[in-house]
């Protein structure tokens, strides 16, 4: 097994390549890695990944991470109070069952931005866990999360209402692994408990919103769908911190000619084309 402890993907790939070079003979690393006058960072990284690929029969790759080392709340205290007030206003739409869990969390955001963070609360933001058993092997690949982060998903991917309770620590379901992975008696309470009901990765909603729009023009009508929301994360090249990336696009459209614009039945199959 080759293990590394680094904070960026490029560091990890570089160190895996170095470790392979140390544990192989006949200059295998130098043979595979690009070292030409035209080699840039991208070309070098791709060649190092090719080396890792070729060495898979001989090594397992393991990387250590530390979770979330720190969190920065942008905006002002008034911004976070406004977020809290906007959320509270949703009570008019029969969402009290959600707000009774959400508002206490937003209160923590306000106090943290005021400079009074509750560290124990922030340590319970998210816990990835789960796994599957195949024969006698336990595959420890997280397939669900618990923690107060899950409260921000009141509905699952199927638009079904979720039960939300995050504040009471509960023992982790160690019986799931049939004893293949023994419980660590030294694990702290935070490490050995789930906080609130879990949500499985497969049930997480996409984080995207969409709306159909019809555009009228002299040549006919154009039906299109606008999408926007969370499309990924952005990393600061200097601090290496991550932040959500928001964007929007026109994903698809349906051309409707004047002749059939008034006769198209709902659900009728129509020709579609992508917008660039």
Residue pLDDT, tens place only, 157-200: 888 888 766 544 555 444 333 333 333 333 334 443 455 567 87
Residue pLDDT, tens place only, 228-275: 999 888 888 888 788 999 999 987 665 555 554 444 444 444 444 444
Is the pTM higher than 0.75? The answer reads: no
Q: Say if CB 144 and CB 129 are below 8 A apart.
A: yes
Sign of CA dihedral 48, 51, 56, 60: negative
pLDDT at 269: 42
42 Cβ contact list (under 8 Å, min separation 6)? none
| β-bridge partners, 249 | 227
**205 pLDDT band (50/70/90 cuts)?**
confident
2-16, 140-154, 260-274: which is most confident? 140-154
- In the structure encoding, which two tokens stand for residue 178, read together? 């049939």
pLDDT at 235: 82
């Amino acid at each position: 097994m080759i293990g590394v402890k680094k904070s960026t993907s490029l560091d990890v790939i570089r160190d895996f390549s170095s470790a392979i070079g140390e544990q192989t003979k006949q200059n295998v690393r130098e043979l595979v890695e690009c070292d030409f006058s035209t080699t840039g960072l991208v070309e070098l990284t791709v060649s190092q990944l090719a080396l890792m690929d070729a060495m898979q029969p001989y090594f397992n790759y393991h990387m250590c991470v530390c979770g979330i080392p720190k969190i920065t709340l942008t905006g002002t205290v008034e911004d976070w109070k406004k977020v809290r007030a906007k959320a509270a206003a949703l009570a008019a739409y029969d969402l009290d069952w959600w707000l009774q869990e959400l508002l206490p969390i937003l209160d923590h955001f306000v106090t943290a931005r005021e400079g009074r963070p509750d560290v124990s609360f922030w340590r319970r933001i998210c816990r990835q866990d789960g796994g599957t058993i195949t024969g006698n092997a336990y595959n420890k690949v997280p397939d669900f999360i618990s923690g107060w982060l899950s409260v921000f998903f009141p509905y699952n991917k199927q638009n079904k209402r979720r039960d939300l309770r995050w504040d009471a620590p509960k023992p982790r379901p160690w019986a799931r692994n049939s004893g293949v992975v023994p419980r660590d008696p030294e694990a702290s309470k935070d490490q050995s408990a789930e906080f609130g009901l879990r949500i499985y990765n497969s049930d997480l909603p996409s984080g995207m919103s969409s709306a159909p729009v019809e555009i009228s023009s002299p040549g006919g009508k154009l039906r299109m769908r606008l999408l926007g929301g969370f499309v990924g994360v952005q990393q600061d090249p200097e601090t290496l911190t991550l932040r959500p990336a928001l964007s929007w696009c026109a994903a698809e459209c349906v051309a409707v000619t004047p002749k059939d614009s008034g006769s198209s039945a709902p659900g009728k199959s129509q020709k579609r084309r992508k917008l660039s």
